[in-house]
């Protein structure tokens, strides 16, 4: 495939040359008098033209100068056929001369500091094989396929897409897309350093081993050769080595756990690093595939950023707030809704510390408004609302605990075609289940508000009748999964405290996957305490906090893993 993509790029280069030459032959009268730019270049109409045929052979540095001029002069809309032909002729023998030229590093870095044109010129340099000649590490990943189902671009195109995404954070014209990122970017010192990190973040893919670690060595060497020193160099190396960390923490770990925030803050160390890593992470996820990014992932990353930033400033983030502070904030919200003082006490007496630590004040207030007068309700209570922090809906289920409850709920959502982005499971002191789910519609076919009534009524009726669990729906594989099968993985280990277990699952995504998992767990009397769902294109990486007496038996663990693997096989 790499040879195919490189040949396709070669055809594009030849087409550009042929079209420019045909244009010059067919319409010579349209050629205006050249406008001299400097001793090496001139402008013919709106195209950059070399003044001598052998310029790039005689002065290799002029190659970088040409792209820098394209970035600096918005009136230039391309290069003449003569210029492209000269680039073509030197494209495979200019690398050494360019890298050895004492002025080349300053010119190349200047491109990153320009106010406009960076993305266009990096793409142009890549198109004409100049970028891979100047940076041999980049040349090795040109046209390289990524053998997963969430990267839809080759490595070089993905890198340039990420550079583009980061660059747009600094452009007022795109402030409406991600205003929070734009605000952070405007306050970032030396934003061009972030563009350099974006160029190197995946540059070591395909070499074997950890590409973050290998790319860190490449980035450090680049900084040394290009006179990037001090904190700027340290930031580039840090971002390349840790560019996957924030995404993994946000999507796979419990952000309600204060220790998670402490550990992540220890990794980033400073607010500047945190801000740069957040911006690079958002740009990286958005640069993998149009299907991978969603507002739920954006919320997780932003929550992690804000909590860590507070901790680095010396303030206590919400995760560090005790039960008292959260209850007080929830009480304030209840009073704003007109509920009288102490009305929440009967319900709150049935909720333990874990509940208050794993739900924010807004969720606590919403649950309380719904349940304060029916904490002993004989009927299931199901309420849904538009997610206040992004797309999707939040669903709250309150019902006297029953066997196979989690599996039954997952089965209902699977039949509706919804994806579960997050699940929080809690059992009250008096034996009621209080579960919360965040749902997304993968196809975005229906308005969320129109389905709230359906979810509330039909799910409540299903929980009331307690019908036997249905068999999982037939597996329907996407075309991508058929051609790129994913080997499922199941890992179950005890947590640090030894009280519960953490189960990590990686498999190909399909409708009803979570239901199939929950159904098997229910058969072994294993309770899911929380679930973190991460969907990466056609691949899911889910993490569950589970408990149950059977988990203490090695034979049960082995049998459980085998059953799950069999269910995940597609």
pLDDT of res. 288: 85
User: For the domain 1-134, what is the CATH code?
Assistant: 1.10.110.30
Mean pLDDT of 400-427: 86
Mean pLDDT of 181-193: 94
pLDDT of res. 422: 82
How much of the chain is in helix, strand and coil states, percent to nearest 5? 55, 15, 30
H or E stretch at 448: helix 448-465
Question: CA 352 to CA 427: how far, in whole Å?
Answer: 9
Mean pLDDT of 316-337: 81
- pLDDT at position 390 over 70: no
Give residues with Cβ within 8 angstroms of 368, minimum separation 6. 330, 334, 339, 344, 347, 348
Mean pLDDT of 492-514: 80
Residue 187 confidence class, pLDDT cut points 50, 70, 90: very high
- pLDDT at position 132 over 70: yes
Mean pLDDT of 258-270: 92
Cα-Cα-Cα-Cα torsion 553, 554, 559, 565, nearest 10 degrees, comes to 120
* Selection from 538, 506, 569 nearest residue 148 by Cα: 538
Q: Walk across the sheet containing 501-508 and list its strands.
A: 381-386, 393-400, 432-440, 419-427, 527-536, 539-547, 501-508, 489-494
Q: Which residues make up the CATH 1.10.110.30 domain(s) of the chain?
A: 1-134
Indicate the burial class of 425 (C-beta count within 10 angstroms; 0-12, 13-18, 19 or more).
buried
Q: What tokens does 458 get? A: 């039909």
- pLDDT at position 385 over 80: yes
pLDDT of res. 256: 77
Contact 490, 568 (CB under 8 A): yes
Contact 543, 502 (CB under 8 A): yes
Question: CA 500 to CA 543: how far, in whole Å?
Answer: 13
pLDDT of res. 466: 81
Task: Report the percent of the chain where pLDDT is more than 70.
Answer: 89
Residue 149 confidence class, pLDDT cut points 50, 70, 90: very low
Residue 389 confidence class, pLDDT cut points 50, 70, 90: confident
* DSSP structure class, residue 147: -
Mean pLDDT of 422-429: 87
- pLDDT at position 133 over 70: yes
425/111: higher pLDDT: 111
Mean pLDDT of 412-423: 84
Mean pLDDT value across the chain: 86
- pLDDT at position 28 over 70: no
- pLDDT at position 255 over 90: no
Question: CA 364 to CA 423: how far, in whole Å?
Answer: 15
Q: Which residues of 383-406 are buried (b: 16+ CB within 10 A; e: fewer)?
A: bbeebebbbbbbbbbbbbeeebbb
Residue 483 confidence class, pLDDT cut points 50, 70, 90: low
Model confidence, pTM:
0.83
Mean pLDDT of 34-38: 88
């Amino acid at each position: 495939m790499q040879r195919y993509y490189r040949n396709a790029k070669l055809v594009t280069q030849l087409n550009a040359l042929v079209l420019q030459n045909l244009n010059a032959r067919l319409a010579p009268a349209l050629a205006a008098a050249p406008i001299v730019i400097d001793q090496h270049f001139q402008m013919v109409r709106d195209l950059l033209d070399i003044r001598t045929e052998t310029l790039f052979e005689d002065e290799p540095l002029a190659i970088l100068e040409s792209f820098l001029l394209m970035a600096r002069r918005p009136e230039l809309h391309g290069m003449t056929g003569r210029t492209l032909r000269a680039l073509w002729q030197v494209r495979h023998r200019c690398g050494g001369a360019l890298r050895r030229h004492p002025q080349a590093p300053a010119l190349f870095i200047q491109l990153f500091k320009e106010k406009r044109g960076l993305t266009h010129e990096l793409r142009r340099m890549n198109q004409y094989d100049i970028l891979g000649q100047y940076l041999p590490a980049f040349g090795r990943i040109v046209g390289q396929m990524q053998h997963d189902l969430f990267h839809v671009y080759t490595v070089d195109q993905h890198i340039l897409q990420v550079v583009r995404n980061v660059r747009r954070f600094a452009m007022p014209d795109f402030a409406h897309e991600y205003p929070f990122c734009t605000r952070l970017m405007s306050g970032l010192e030396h934003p061009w350093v972030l563009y350099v990190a974006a160029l190197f973040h995946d540059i070591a893919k395909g070499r074997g081993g950890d590409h973050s670690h290998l790319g860190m060595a490449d980035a450090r060497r680049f900084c040394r050769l290009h006179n990037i020193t001090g904190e700027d160099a340290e930031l580039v190396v840090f971002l390349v080595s840790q560019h996957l960390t924030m995404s993994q923490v946000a999507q796979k770990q419990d952000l309600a756990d204060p220790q998670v925030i402490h550990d992540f803050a220890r990794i980033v160390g400073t607010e500047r690093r945190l801000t740069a890593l957040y911006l690079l992470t958002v740009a990286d996820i958005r640069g993998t595939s149009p299907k991978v990014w969603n507002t739920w992932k954006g919320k997780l990353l932003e929550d992690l950023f804000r909590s860590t930033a507070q901790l680095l400033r010396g303030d206590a983030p919400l995760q560090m707030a005790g039960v008292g502070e959260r209850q007080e904030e929830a009480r304030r919200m209840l009073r704003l809704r007109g509920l009288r003082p102490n009305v929440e006490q009967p319900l709150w007496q049935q909720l333990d510390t874990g509940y208050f630590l794993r739900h924010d004040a807004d969720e606590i207030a919403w649950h309380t408004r719904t349940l304060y007068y029916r904490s002993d309700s004989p009927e299931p209570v199901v309420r849904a609302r538009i997610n206040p922090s992004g797309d999707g809906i939040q669903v709250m289920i309150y019902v006297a605990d029953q066997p196979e409850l989690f599996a039954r709920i997952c089965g209902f959502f699977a039949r509706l075609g919804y994806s579960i982005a997050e699940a929080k499971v809690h059992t009250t002191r008096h034996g009621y289940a209080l579960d919360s789910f965040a749902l997304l519609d993968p196809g975005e076919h229906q308005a969320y508000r129109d389905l709230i009534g359906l979810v509330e009524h039909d799910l409540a009726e299903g929980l009331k009748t307690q019908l036997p669990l249905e068999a999982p729906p037939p597996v329907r594989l996407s075309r991508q999964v058929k051609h790129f099968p994913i080997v499922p993985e199941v890992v179950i280990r005890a947590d640090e405290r030894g009280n519960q277990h953490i189960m990590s699952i990686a498999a190909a995504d399909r409708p009803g996957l979570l239901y199939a998992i929950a159904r098997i767990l229910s058969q072994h009397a294993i309770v899911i305490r929380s679930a973190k769902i991460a969907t990466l294109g056609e691949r899911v990486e889910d993490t569950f906090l589970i408990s149950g007496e059977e988990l203490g038996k090695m034979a049960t663990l082995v049998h459980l893993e085998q059953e799950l693997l069999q269910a995940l096989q597609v």
